[in-house]
Structure formats: structure tokens, C-alpha cells
Structure 1
Amino acid sequence: MPEITVKQRLRYWFDNTMSKGAWSLIAWLGVLSAVMILIASFVIVLGIRPEWATQEGMGWSHIIWQNLMRTIDAGTMGGDTGSWPAMFLMLFVTLGGIFIFSALIGVLNSGLESKLEDLRKGRSFVVENEHTIIYGWSSLIFPIITELVEANKNRKKPTIVILSDRDKVEMEDEIRARVPEVANTRIVCRSGSPIDFDDVRIVNPDAARSIIILAPHEAGDPDAHVIKTVLAILNNPERKKEPYHIVAELRQHHNRTILEMVGGGEIETVVFDDLVTRISVQTCRQTGLSSVLTDLLNFGGDEIYFSKAGQVAGCTFGDALQLFEKSSLIGLKQDGKVRLLPDMKTIIQPNDELVAISLDDDTIRKGGDPFIQSEMIRPVAPIEVTPEKTLILGWNERAEATMNELNAYVCEGSHTTVVHREPVPELPLLTKQVVQTVLADPTDRAVLDNIHPEVYDHILVLRDTRMGIQEADARTLVVLLHLRELAIRHGKNFAIVSEMGDVRNQRLADSTQVDDFIISDQLVSLVLAQVSENKALAAVFEDLFDADGAELYLKPASEYVETQKDLSFYTVVEAAKARNEIAIGWRRQADAEKRDRGFGIQLNPPKTTRLNLKPDDALIVLANH
């Protein structure tokens, strides 16, 4: 082992002190300045005195002070006189001061730039309380922020904190470009890995009111990232004892069981592909539903709330439907379980909770005088079920699940045709549908002519998710334009539903006069935002989008009440009740294509509202079939 010299030890000690940053460098410059001033002062005391040092009363402390001033300000020596050695001594002090303070300015500038760079990286701890955290980054983040901003308008100093592995400034710039209006909400971005134990603590999850975890869509296995993020939050040794309120996005259904096992009662999951598939099928069979769901799920109007049932305890659920003038009851929460559209004869218990569509939770109040025009209610007619013909243009990873979901709705003898430019995977045997596949490009006009879309009951245009969002939406627009021209030629309105990736492209497609659009990112974002605000809504949406549960339907108003006659919405609710359904609004067909009129949709109107429905108008009802 070689012997370590004193010089090496001193060099090692000096290197360590210099590596400690700007404050260490400033300290060394201070030491160097003090040494230089003391040496110059000592020389002056020995006898090499400039003129100013010969004045009466000029002691040691005064000499040190004068040398310090010459070190700081080079102009101070301009009036010095005395012998040449004394003049050169003052020149030495001044040049040394120029060097030291130039170096000091450089060190301060470098230290400031370093601090600004650290701030730019977004690595400082977030000192917020009752904030909403979003872990991860994807295209869903912009509609989520938009909805949370709307939800926060009644809150005091609300904050949304985002942790992602992207650059902090880039995140802030992109959010400003895509969400220009944030009202009273403050948005804070931090750079870090959402799967790192230390990084997840930067955004202060223990003080958050809710946590949203997004799946990174560009990752090879996005669900694995979500599961790791959940583990990093829940298994952190510094976590709080109280349960978190976490809502996580998953891409694949089979990972849901694993995540719920890991998260227990602290986590609610939203499976992207499941949700989009269910909405695609439901909307495909009843155009306009996507607009209804968007209106119901966003925070801009009436929403779903829970309220104590004490005010109607002892009533049947059917009787309670007419007791709330400004709210629409849709279900009950009994013994911790949510039931949408329970049996009309169900007795409401004092400990139950009402599930209702209302402007706010405090507007779910008993009131109003039911005015029911029994003579306007049409008799209940038997439901005729006939086979359906569905045309699916395009294919993506959700198409097979779409076929299976569609099988739960159609009756036996139904027919489905799939047109795609590449061979589709072999489909499982479907009990109620005969499936035909056509190997062709649906953007080719000749292909559409040969398929004869006019003979189909429903047309669903799927987005190719392997492409970029804009490219896939462009292909969809081409298909829609061809279908519109064919509809004009045949003099028939096609029931077309199209899936779009970017909500901004919907405006470009308005001219195609498509009945409805599924903006997959937007709808999933709405559900994530709603559940982050109210955990209990997860069970409501699970029932609402399940083929086996109660669902929203748009049904002809003429099947329920007399059309082209004045009647109250109380009467409409009673007509739906007679069919074991709940009426929550209507859709005016005349305004179905008018964005400024809300596409003709009216949800949760006051039951005293007087209306005159046309034969082609539809009622929005919650029903089991």
C-alpha cells in the first residue's frame, strides 16, 4: 500500500470542499480576499505607507478597511499618492480585488443558473393540501384537466399536480396550448418517474384529496407501469395510515384483478378498452347516445350525485320518482351496493342513499306538485325483436371484444359484416350473429358501392389505433364523406357512428352529417375525472355500461306519450314508469346536428316543464332492454 503524502491529503481535502457548490467557492474567495488584505495591511504597517496611511489616527483597523474598499472598488486608488513601492502595493491590492470579485460574480451567476435549472427540472417538493394528483402523461390528460378545472370552480384555491418523466417546461407549455382556460385552478408540474419510490413523494400524495394514474400509451406494457406506480404509492414506508383515493386507468381487462388485489379498497379501476368497447356497441345501436353520455359525464351541467334517503324513507322507489321536481332519481345505494333502476316496488329505507341526476348534491330536495296527464300516456305495447344487420368498417385491437359485446344485445339471426384492408383474426363462434369478413380498403369508394351500406341497420367506423391519431382520423373522415354521398344518392339516412381519436377532428367531420361520434379519449377522461371527485360513482358507471345492467336508451317518444300535444315532463316520467323505466330527458331530432343547441339533448329538465314532442323525437330513458 503506497504511503499517502501530506500534499495528497491537502489536495484531496481541497477538492472535496470545492465540489460542494457555489457557497464553498464563495467561502474560498472570501478567504483569499482576507489573506490578500491582511498581507497588504501588514506591509503598510511595516513602513511602506501611501499618503492616506500617514494621516493621524490611522490605526490597524482603518488600514484594513481602506484596503478592503480598494479591493471592492478599483476607482478608490485613483487619488492615491506616495512612494513607488506604496503605489505598487495599492495596485496589487486593486488588481487582486478585480480578480476576486470578477470570480465572485461568475460564481454567483453560475450558482443562480444552476438553481434556475433545478427549478426548471421540477424536482422540488410540492407543499399543497387537498390537491388532485395525476401520475403519468398521455392524451387523456388534457380533457381530464379541462373537467377538473370545471369541477374546481366552487372550490377555494384548487390545485392539480402532475408528475411525469417529461420535461417540466414542456409539460407546462403543452398544457397552456391545449387547456388555455384554467379559471381559479393552479396547475403544478413536476418531473420524475411515477414508478420511483422517492419521486412519487415529491407531489405530496399524503395530503392529496384524490390521485389519478394514467397508463403511458406509448409504453410496450402500459398496465405494468400503472401497477408499479400503485405499488410505489401504497408500499412506501413513509405513506399515511389513512386510505388513499386512487383511480387508475388500465388498458387490458385481465390486469384488473391484479391491480385490485394490490390496491384493495383504496383503488378504483377504469379499463380503457372495456369502456370504449361497451360505449361503441351501445352507441352503434342507438345513435346519439355518445352525446348523451358526454353531457351526463362532464362537469358543465347536471351530474350524478348521492343523497341521504331520509326525506322519502318508507316510499316505494316508483312513487319517489315524481317527488323531486328538479332531480331525476336513477337508483339506490343499499347496504353499500349501488342498484340502478331497482324494482319500482322497492321500499326506501332510512339508511339508504338516493342516486340522482341533479345540478348539485344540495338540489336533491323533495318538492313539486306532480301534474300527470294520464290521457296523454300511450298503452304499453309488446316489444318486437327482429334480427339486425351491422356493418363494421375498419379493425383495431378492440374489434373482437366489440363483436362479443354486440352479441349480448342482438337477437338470433342477426348479421354483421366486417370490412378491413388486412385479414382479421379468426373470430370465436358467436351464438346470435353470422359474421362475414371482406378483405378490402373501406376508404375505397368502389368497395363501399359493392357492399351496399344502405341495407344495414347500423354502421360503425372503427379507428385504426396502429396509426397516429391524426392519420387514423383522416382515414375515418374519408370513409364518412363517401358514406354521406351514398346516403344522398339512395335517399336514406344511414345510422352511422364513428370513432375519433381527437375531439378537435369532430368539428371537421360535422359536414359529413354523421349521427354520432365516439371520442374515446374524451369519454374515458370524463369517467376518470368523475370517479376522482366521487369514488362511489365507479359502481354507478360499472352498472351503467354493463350489458347485464340498466343502460341509457334513446327510444321513440311516440311509443310513450301523445306527440304534437302539450304535456308536462311529469307525464313523460309516469309513462316510462309504466314500462319499468326512468325517463331522464329527451332529444329533439330537429336539433340533432346543431352543436350550439346541444345536439337537441335535454337532460334532467324540471318536471313542471311543458313540452310538445314531435313524432321523430326521442326520450332518454334508463331501461333494462
Structure 2
Amino acid sequence: MAQRRAPLGDRARYWFDRTLARGAAALVGWMALLCLAVVVPANAVLVWTDSDAPASLTDRLAQVWRLTGQTLRLGGATGTPLRVMTSVLLALVALLYVSTLVGLITTALTDRLTALRRGRSTVLEEGHAVVLGWSEQVFTVVGELVAANANQRRAAVVVLADRDKTLMEEALGPRTGPFGRTRLICRSGPTTDPAVLPLTGPATAGAVLVLPHDEPDADAEVVRTLLALRAALAGERTRPPVVAAVRDDRYRLAAELAAGRTGVVLESDTVTARLIVQAARRPGLSLVHQELLDFAGDEFYLVRGVGLTGRPFGDALLAYPTSSVVGLMRGDTALLAPPPRTPIAPDDLLVAVSRDDDTARPGDCAPLVEEAVMASAPAAPARAERVLLLGWNRRAPLLVDQLRRRARPGSVVDVVAEPRDATARQVGEADAGRGTGLSVTLHHGDTTRPETLRRLDVHSYDSVIVLGRDPVPGDPPGDPDTRTLVTLLLLRQMEEATGRELPVVTELIDDRNRALAPLGPGADVIVSGRLIGLLMAQISQNRLLAAVFEELFSADGAGVRLRPAADYVLPGREASFATVVAAARHRGECAIGYRSHADVPTGPAYGVRINPPKDERRRWTARDEVVVVGRD
């Protein structure tokens, strides 16, 4: 049977495709033919319609050729064939030279722009901050560094991560706000490569911050980054202070060895667990920590005690009208809320909460104290507590351990977790035979289902802690916070149905979800990544503050506490804040602020007032709270 012949149009298209497949030469030939097919007839029309055109056909054709040569820059010489071909050859050589030159310039500019876009040029700054890594903490860290540099003219923050430079700049802009005088410089590349780290200029940096990313191998990545930084700075006379964070305490020693003597390594999960427990026992404490750690308000400073050498520490508490003294820095050791009779040595620095380092001006505030309105009743003793823990993640075992450290006999922790949370089952089984003052009971259930919460007598607990589960491969982005928000919605519905407040403390991963959280008046929120980012930014500005925060967030140290105002001043009486400071001094504590119960529903401070002037007067109620630094 004879083969059917393809249509002429299909065969023509196929032949044209095969011709183009031969490469650039065929493409140039087709373009030349196309140009001639358009230019020659057009020029012929111009010549034949010109009233001044030559009369003879030969001269007219020569005129068409000259116009074609001028249009295509192919020369326009006429005469013998040799003369015409030489003219065309010279024009082609000139065209090839110019095209090649333009191509080389274009390629060089494109490569340069691509390199700049990829962030591969070396930073030539001095005293800048270098942020290595990318996670949710990067927005907090960069934003706080920008706030810290607000009064500096030539400040810069350099971010290095294995991401596209443009994407990093687009992500940081809306999340951190205006940069003011601080220049943001992004560089792309792996933070674990010693050949890439010099792009950030670490040798001349004022501080280097190493962030753990959001993957399971975050701690190992931090250690590798610190080792790469150490290799990149080999041979340098001076090294910048390094601040890093790890999740697991098993990696802390390795990270400290890699960071060197000037390095500070934080255990983010341990610090977060302590803050959650503290907030569970006294909701609202996270607001105090955020106020103390960000650069927008009052924060910790180390100041020289003018005229206080040899005097007892208690005198320093009323020696600064607009600053709140909380301890001593003795060498590299922080003594927070030491006994009031502790003498101040000549080399001691005062640890004070102040608006700025130059606002800690001395002045005698003792005349402001009104002893007649000071309360003298002893503090109420601690009692057994009942805690409901909804959800489970990698920080939950640390959280249970923190609860166990200060538990009174008879204390109870009821855990509601899904069956797949094997560590929750292990903690419950391990606690069964410990005989401690805290008993842990595990209940299986999904905290996002209403029937799970209805089975619990939620209002019988002293505090309810809501945890999001650890991210699982395959989960959609933001899933842990989504489940947490659903649980909070159900708890809020129970509050509204019964008319009784629930002391809820919840942990969120993304700070943007804080505004979405349906929280009641007695609720508190811990954004773990934000608090660790605030800590890292503070320490990067003053390494000595690391000892202050280590004591502040340690399990057995002097931390920030919220106490009933009735323990310090008589309810219903008007008194100055200096009176509260004096009353706290009698209890071995340092008062640094208060929380007004009447302003609890009002944001953004929600009643928290840190470092008020000593002469500020107000009427204190029984439901107000005093913010102190002290021990339980």
C-alpha cells in the first residue's frame, strides 16, 4: 500500500524546523533572507516613486542597492562584482566586530548584575552586626538591632543565609519595619562554608549572631557554622563576640567550644520552658519580659554607682529617681537581688533598668517613702498546684521538669496528648515511681476536638498550658500554630459559656499569630522564637549582660516575679512608687514596676508599667501586681 504523502504545509514547516535545528548559522541566514525580503522591495518602491530617480533601469537598481546597504549597514559601493563583494565583506566584518563587542559588554554587565543580585560581593563595613542563618528569629533579631542602632549614623546589619538575596530583602522589609539610618545588607550562601563567610566581613564586625534554623538538625548546623566562622577568622588578631542559640543542651558544650572564649551560647528550649512555667504561675509575666528585652522601652544597663562605694546595696535601690537598680555585676558574675546589706565594692557595677545608659542619674529618693502605707503582712506560703498541659512537643519534658523543681507535695500535672507522642508516654511512665511532690498523669486525646476538652474539668486547674506540636514532614506551613489557635478558640468558648476566666498560657511559633490568638483576660502568650531573638540582640550589644540573663532565667536564680500589690502597700491607699521599692527592699526584692488591674484589657502594654519614676503616685488596689526581681 502506498504511503500517504503529508500535506505541503506540514512538509514545509518540518523542513523549516530541521533547518533551524542546525544552529545559529541557519538562524542568521533566515534572518538575512527575511530582512532582504522586506528591505529590497521597500527600497524599490522608494526609488520608483521618487521624481528625482535616475531614468535608466541600471541606475535605478544601483540606487536600490545603495539604499539597501545603508539600511542594513552592509555598505553601498557599486561597480564591478569584486568591488561590491569587497564592500559587503568589510561591512560584515564591521558588523561582526561591533556585535561581538556589544555582546561581551552585555554579558559582563549581566554577570555583574547577577552576582550583585545573588549577594556575592564582600562587605567592607566596620562595627556592623552579622546575622548567620535564617529562621523566624531573624525578623526579631534584625528589628531589634535596627532599634539599637537608631542613634548611630553609619550602622549596618549583614544577613547571610542560603537563600536568594532578593527574597531575603523582600521578606525582611515588611516584617521589621523602616530601617532608618541602619543599612540592611543581604548575602547569599551556606553559613557552614568558610570560603563564603568572609563575604560578611566578620573580622571587622561588632558582633556575630548565629541563628538555629527550623529543621531537626538545627543544633548540628549551628555547631558547623561556628566551626566555619572559627576557620574563616583563623589568623585574625581580634575576633568579634559571638552569640548563638541551640535547642538541645547536648550541643551546648560543643557550641561553646566552637564559639571560643568570647562566645555566648543560649539553650533556647530550656529558657522557653522556664518562661512558660513562670508565666503559668503568674500570667502576664511574658509582657514584662518583652518590655525588658526589647530596645523600644526600658532595658538592662550596667552603670557605675556614683558615691555608693562601701555603702549597702539597699541604699542603691532609692538612689536613682528614674532608674530601677536590681543587682550588682561583680567581675563576670551577676548578683541579682542580693541581700540589702551587701556592701558595694569599688569595682562593682550596678545592674539597672533604665530608658538609656545616660538616664541613670543619681538622686536621693528616700524622702518619698511613706512608711505608714507600707504593708507588713508576710507573703502567703506556696501551695500545691494543679496544671493542665494541652499538647506535647520537644520542650514539654523540660517544662514538666521545671514544674517538678518547685512543686509542693500534692501538686498535679495532667497531660493531654495524642497517642503518637511517645515522649509524653515515657515521661508519664518515668514519673510513676519517682515519689516526688509532683504527679504526672497522661491522657490520650486530640486537643483540637471539643469532646476532648469537655471531658476535663478545665476550671479546676490553677493554670492551663497550651503547646503546639513539633512540625512533622509533610505538614502544611504554620500547622503547629493553627492547631494551637483552634485549641484556644475552644477554651475561649468555655470561658464565655461559664463566665469564668481561665488562666491560660500558650506558646506560639510565629509572632504574627499573636494578634490572631483568641485570648481571655487571664491569658498569656509566649512566642518562643521572639524571646530568644530579643535575648540574642541584647547580649550582642553588651556581652556582660549574658551573666545577667543567665541568672534571671536560671531555675534557682533571682528572676522576674509578679506579686500581689497588697504584699507591699495597703490596698485602697495612695502611695509613691518609692514606697513600693522600700517595701520590696524589706522582703529582699527589687521592685521595677507594676501591673494595673484596671488596664489589663488595654493594649499594647495591658497594664504593665516598667521603671516608673520614684515620685509617681497612684492608688493601689488589692488586684494590682508589683513587678520585682527576687527569689521564690
Shared fold, TM over 0.5? yes
2:346 is the counterpart of 1:350: yes
Q: How many residues are treated as equivalent by the alignment?
A: 552
Q: In structure 2, how many angstroms separate the alpha carbons of the residues matched to 1:184 and 1:466?
A: 37
- Ranges in structure 2 where 5+ consecutive residues have no aligned partner: 1-68
Aligned partner of 2:221 among 210, 216, 225: 225
Distance 1:72 1:364, change over 3 A: farther
Letter in 2 for 1:96: V
Match of 2:248 in 1: 252
Where structure 1 has 5 or more consecutive residues not aligned to the other structure, the ranges are: 1-70
- The change in CA–CA distance for 1:447 and 1:81 in structure 2 (over 3 A counts) is closer
Aligned to 2:102: 105
With over 3 angstroms needed to count, the CA separation of the structure-2 counterparts of 1:395 and 1:238, relative to structure 1, is: closer
- CA distance in 1 between counterparts of 2:497 and 2:96 reads 86
**In the TM superposition, what whole-angstrom CA distance separates every residue of 1:358-407 from its partner, at most 9, and x where no partner exists?**
01111122114431110000113153221111110011111111101111
Letter in 2 for 1:551: G
Counterparts of residues 395-544 of structure 1 (less than 5 Å): 395-422=392-419, 423=421, 424-427=424-427, 428-429=430-431, 431-467=436-472, 470-510=478-518, 512-513=520-521, 515-544=523-552
Cα offset for 1:558? 1.3
**2:390 counterpart (380, 383, 393):** 393
Match of 2:565 in 1: 557
Query: Could you say what secondary structure the match of 2:200 adopts?
Result: coil
Contact 1:484 1:513 in 2 (8 A): no
The reply on whether 1:204 has 2:201 as its aligned counterpart is yes
Q: What residue in structure 1 maps to residue 187 of structure 2?
A: 190
Q: Deviation per CA, 1:207-253, whole angstroms, max 9, x where unpaired?
A: 000000111222x4222221122122223464421232000111111
Q: Does 1:359 align with 2:359?
A: no
| Aligned partners of 1:380 and 1:579 also within 8 Å | no
Partner Cα separation in structure 1 for residue 519 and residue 325 of structure 2: 37
Aligned-partner Cα distance in 2 for 1:583–1:110: 66
Give the C-alpha shift of residue 478 in structure 1. Answer: 1.8
Query: Which whole-Å CA distance do the structure 2 matches of 1:447 and 1:87 have between them?
Result: 94
Q: Distance in 1 between matches of 2:344 and 2:617?
A: 29
Which residue number in structure 2 is paired with residue 574 of structure 1?
582
Structure-2 residue corresponding to 1:114: 111
Q: 2:124 aligns with which of 107, 122, 127?
A: 127
Q: Does 1:175 align with 2:180?
A: no
* Superposed CA RMSD: 2.0
1:320 paired with 2:327, answer no
Distance in 2 between the 1:73 and 1:247 partners?
67
Matched to 2:623, the amino acid is D
Aligned partner letter, 1:609: E
1:608 aligns with 2:615: yes
| 1:500–1:520 contact (8 Å) kept in structure 2 | yes
* Superposed displacement of residue 88, structure 1: 4.0
Q: Which residue of 1 aligns with 2:53?
A: none
- What secondary structure does 1:361 align onto? coil
Distance 1:520 1:567 in 2: 36
Are the structure 2 counterparts of residues 136 and 239 from structure 1 closer, same or farther at C-alpha, using a change threshold of 3 Å?
farther
> C-alpha separation between the residues in 2 aligned to 1:473 and 1:236?
38
Q: Judging changes above 3 Å, is the alpha-carbon distance between structure 1 residues 426 and 74 closer, same or farther for their aligned structure 2 residues?
A: closer
Deviation at 1:536, TM superposition (A): 0.9
**Further displaced range: 545-554 or 502-511:** 502-511
CA distance in 2, matches of 1:336, 1:177: 39
- Residue 241 (str. 1) matches residue 248 (str. 2): no
TM superposition shift of 1:275: 1.2
1:482-538: CA deviation from partner (whole Å, max 9, x where unpaired): 222222333321111111111111111245545210111111110011111111111
Q: Is the 8 A contact 2:501 2:522 kept in 1?
A: no
In the alignment, residue 620 of structure 2 is paired with which amino acid? L
Going from structure 1 to structure 2, the CA distance change for 1:256 and 1:72 (only over 3 Å counts) comes to farther
Give, in whole Å, the separation in 1 of the partners of 2:275 and 2:95.
73
Judging changes above 3 Å, is the alpha-carbon distance between structure 1 residues 621 and 382 closer, same or farther for their aligned structure 2 residues? Answer: closer
Change (3 A) 1:460 1:72: farther
Give the C-alpha shift of residue 563 in structure 1.
Answer: 2.2
